[in-house]
Amino acid sequence: MFSILHKQSSRRRLLLFLGISAFFFVGFRTADKYFEISRNMDIFGKVFTEVNTVYVDETNPTEMMQKGINSMLESMDPYTNFFPESMIEQSMVLNSGQLSGIGAEIGMRRGQILILELFQDGPADEAGLRVGDQVVKIDDEVIGNEGRSLDEAKNLLQGESGTSITLGIRRAGEPVPRSVVIKRGGNAAQQENVPFSGMVNNEIGYILLNNFMGSAGNEVASALKNLKNDHPELKGVILDLRGNPGGRLDEAVNVCNVFMPPGTYITQMKGRTSSSNQKFSTMLPAVDTEIPLVVLVNENSASASEIVSGAVQDLDRGVILGRRSYGKGLVQNVRPLTYNTQMKITIARYYIPSGRCIQSIDYFHRNADGSPGHVPDTAVTAFETQNGRIVYDGGGILPDVIVEEPAELPVISALREQGLLFDFVTQFSANNDTIPGPRIFQVDNGMYQDFVDFVQAKGFTFNTGSEAKLAELEKALASEDYEEMVNGEVGAIRKEIARLKVADLNRHQEQIAEALRKSIVSRYFFKQGLLESGFAFDRDIQQAVRVLNNEPEYARLLGR
Quote the distance between the C-alpha of residue 94 and its chain's center: 13
Domain boundary among 7, 41, 59: 59
Asked, for residue 85, whether it belongs to a domain, the answer is no
pLDDT of residue 189: 40
d(C-alpha 205, C-alpha 533), whole Å? 15
pLDDT of residue 435: 93
Secondary structure element (H or E) that encloses residue 28, with its range: helix 2-54
* Domain co-membership, 303 together with 443: no
Asked, for residue 481, whether it belongs to a domain, the answer is no
Domain boundary among 133, 155, 189: 189
* Domain co-membership, 442 together with 350: no
pLDDT of residue 1: 44
Secondary structure element (H or E) that encloses residue 66, with its range: helix 61-74
Half-sphere exposure of 411 (CA within 13 A, CB side): 22
Asked, for residue 1, whether it belongs to a domain, the answer is no
* Domain co-membership, 35 together with 162: no
The β-bridge partners of 344 are 81, 334
> What CATH number corresponds to the domain at position 382?
3.90.226.10
Asked, for residue 456, whether it belongs to a domain, the answer is yes
DSSP β-ladder status, 293-297 and 236-240? parallel
Asked, for residue 5, whether it belongs to a domain, the answer is no
d(C-alpha 249, C-alpha 308), whole Å? 10
Residues 6+ apart with CB under 8 A from 520: 425, 428, 429, 435, 441, 443
* Domain co-membership, 294 together with 373: yes
* Domain co-membership, 173 together with 202: no
* Overall domain count for the chain: 4
pLDDT of residue 241: 98
* Domain co-membership, 429 together with 527: yes
pLDDT of residue 526: 85
Residues 6+ apart with CB under 8 A from 12: none
* Domain co-membership, 390 together with 529: no
Asked, for residue 119, whether it belongs to a domain, the answer is yes
Asked, for residue 231, whether it belongs to a domain, the answer is yes
d(C-alpha 302, C-alpha 327), whole Å? 6
CB 190 within 8 A of CB 101: no
How many CB atoms sit inside 10 A of residue 101's CB? 25
CB 203 within 8 A of CB 236: yes
Domain boundary among 189, 208, 236: 189
* Domain co-membership, 211 together with 351: yes
The boundaries of the domain holding residue 182 are 99-189
| Amino acid identity, position 129 | L
* Domain co-membership, 179 together with 256: no
pLDDT of residue 19: 54
DSSP β-ladder status, 342-351 and 293-297? unpaired
> What CATH number corresponds to the domain at position 145?
2.30.42.10
pLDDT of residue 236: 98
d(C-alpha 537, C-alpha 210), whole Å? 20
* Domain co-membership, 321 together with 415: no
* Domain co-membership, 245 together with 392: yes
pLDDT of residue 188: 43
* Domain co-membership, 342 together with 317: yes
Report in angstroms the alpha-carbon separations of 305 from 293, 361, 485.
15, 17, 57
Asked, for residue 152, whether it belongs to a domain, the answer is yes
Which pLDDT tens digits describe the chain residue by residue (560 residues)?
444 444 455 555 555 555 555 554 445 555 677 788 888 889 988 999 999 999 999 999 989 998 988 888 888 888 898 888 877 665 555 454 444 578 888 888 878 899 988 888 889 989 999 998 999 999 988 887 777 788 888 888 877 778 899 999 998 888 899 999 998 875 444 557 998 899 999 999 999 999 998 899 999 999 999 999 999 999 999 999 999 999 999 999 999 999 999 999 999 999 998 888 999 999 999 999 999 999 999 999 999 999 999 999 999 999 999 999 999 999 998 889 998 889 999 999 999 999 999 998 888 776 766 677 677 766 789 999 999 999 999 889 999 999 998 888 899 999 998 999 999 999 999 899 999 988 889 999 999 999 999 998 998 888 777 777 877 777 877 777 776 666 777 777 777 777 777 788 889 999 999 999 999 999 998 878 888 888 888 999 999 999 999 999 999 999 99
The DSSP string of 128-170 is T--TTPEEEEETTEEBSTTSB-HHHHHHHH--STT-EEEEEEE
